[in-house]
Amino acid sequence: MSVESGVPVPGTEASTGESTAEVTLTFDQAAVDLDALQRSAYALAAELTADIRVRGGDYVCTLFRRRQDLTDDELKHRFRAEVNDQVLRARIARETEPLRNLVFALAFSRTGLSEAGETA
């Protein structure tokens, strides 16, 4: 479920697995929401910070490592994997939101079913 092109920022070295100061990933806007990228940056805040910009039809994410033991490749894998998962979560949330609301509505309503099951 890979959604990015891994194009290095022009003017810097291509990733050789060594730890350079920053790393860039590009995502197609049609495939990934900004929300997913922001959530990913938030979730990985212990390992990196991210600068997210729009360029044409893409989001360009520049990653800055916080832990010196992470290689460029590892940094990219971490971010890509997290983005994939955030996209998956967003999809599941979208599909299940009506049923989630229904469950809450049933749980907090005063229908007869509310008495069943509470003796435990």
Partner 1 sequence: MIKLERTATLLSPHSWQLLPLRFHRLDADSVVLTSMVGEHEFVTPDELDAVVDGTCTDQELLARLRAVHLIQLPGERLPAELLAIKLRTRMRRLPDSTGLHIFVVTLRCEHTCRYCQVSRQPTAKNEFDMTEQTARQALELAFMSPSPHIKIEFQGGEPLLNFPLIRWITTEAKRMNKEHGKDLAFVIATNLALLDEEILDFCAAEDIYLSTSLDGPADLHNGNRRRPGQNSWDQAVAGIRLAQERLGMHKVSALVTTTAASLNRAAEIVDLYAELGLRGVFLRPISPYGFALRRRGGADYEVSQWLEFYEAGLDRVEELCSQGVPMMEIYASIIAKKMLSNTDPGYVDLTSPAGIGIGALVYNYDGDVYASDEGRMLAEMSDRTFRLGNVHDSSYADIMLSDSLLDPLMESVTLSAPMCSTCAFEPYCGADPVFHHTTAGNFLGHKALSAFCQRNMGVFTLLLRKMRDDPYFLDLMRQWAQ
Partner 2 sequence: MFKLTGRADATGLAGPLPDKVWRIRLPGEPGTMGADHASSSLACLISEDQTPPAGYGLYLMTGSAPAASEIPGPVLGLGPELAHLAAGDIIHVHGDGRRINVLWKNSARHNALLLTEQCDNYCLMCSQPPKDRDDSWLFDRARRVISLLPDDAQALSFTGGEPTLNADAFIDLLEHCQKVAPRLSLHLLSNGRRFADPQFTRRYADVGLGDIMVGIPVYAPEPGLHDFIVQAAGAFDDTVHGILNLASLGQAIEIRVVIQRHTIPVLARLAAFITRNLPFVAQVALMGLEMTGLARPNSAQVWADPADYQSELVEAVRILTMAGIPTRIYNHQLCVLERRLWPYAVRSISDWKNDYLDVCQECSVRDACGGVFTTSGNRLSQHLHAMPSPAPAPFPARI
Point out which residues bind partner 1 (CB under 8 A): 1, 39, 42-46, 85, 88-89, 91-93, 95-96, 99-100, 102-108, 113-114, 116-118, 120
Task: Please report whether residue 30 would count as binding partner 2 according to CB under 8 A.
Answer: no
Rounded distance between C-alpha atoms, residue 97 and residue 27, angstroms: 26
Enter the DSSP assignment of 57: T
Of the listed pieces 16-24, 43-51, 70-78, 112-120, which binds partner 2 according to CB under 8 A?
112-120
Number of residues that bind partner 2 (CB under 8 A): 8
Rounded distance between C-alpha atoms, residue 78 and residue 84, angstroms: 10
Q: Which is nearer to partner 2, 54 or 113 (CB)?
A: 113
Contact 107, 68 (CB under 8 A): no
Categorise residue 116: left if φ over 0, alpha if ψ from -120 to 50, beta otherwise.
beta
The entry of partner 2, partner 1, none that residue 69 binds, CB within 5 to 8 Å by partner kind: none
